[in-house]
């Protein structure tokens, strides 16, 4: 059950990375006109990929926790 809980927590934390490109304060994500740059699009793609992977990992962790509870492990 401990592995399932750990996987579930990692999945939940991983999902928060999706909002990072919009909150970028370095000036690299948007140009002077406010349009998104290549930096923004690449990091948004990475964040969405992380979101998908985080969701899958979270679901696997939840399934692991449920399975452990059913078997009493």
**Could you report the per-residue pLDDT of 7-41, keeping only the tens digit for each?**
667 666 665 666 777 777 788 888 888 899 998 89
- Contacts of residue 50, Cβ cutoff 8 Å, sequence gap at least 6: 14, 15, 17, 18
What is Dmax (Cα atoms) for the chain? 59
Burial profile 24-43: b = 16 or more Cβ within 10 angstroms, e = fewer: eeeeebbeeeeeeeebbeeb
pTM, two decimals, is 0.62
Rounded CA separation 16/26 (Å): 19
Mean of the pLDDT values across residues 49-60? 80
3-state secondary structure at position 36: strand
């Amino acid at each position: 059950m401990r592995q399932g809980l750990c996987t579930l927590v990692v999945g939940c934390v991983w999902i928060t990375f999706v909002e990072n490109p919009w909150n970028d304060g370095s000036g690299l994500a948007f140009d002077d006109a406010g349009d998104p740059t290549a930096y923004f699009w690449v990091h948004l793609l990475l964040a969405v990929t992380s979101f998908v992977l985080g969701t899958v990992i979270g679901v696997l962790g939840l399934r692991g926790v449920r399975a452990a509870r059913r078997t009493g492990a």
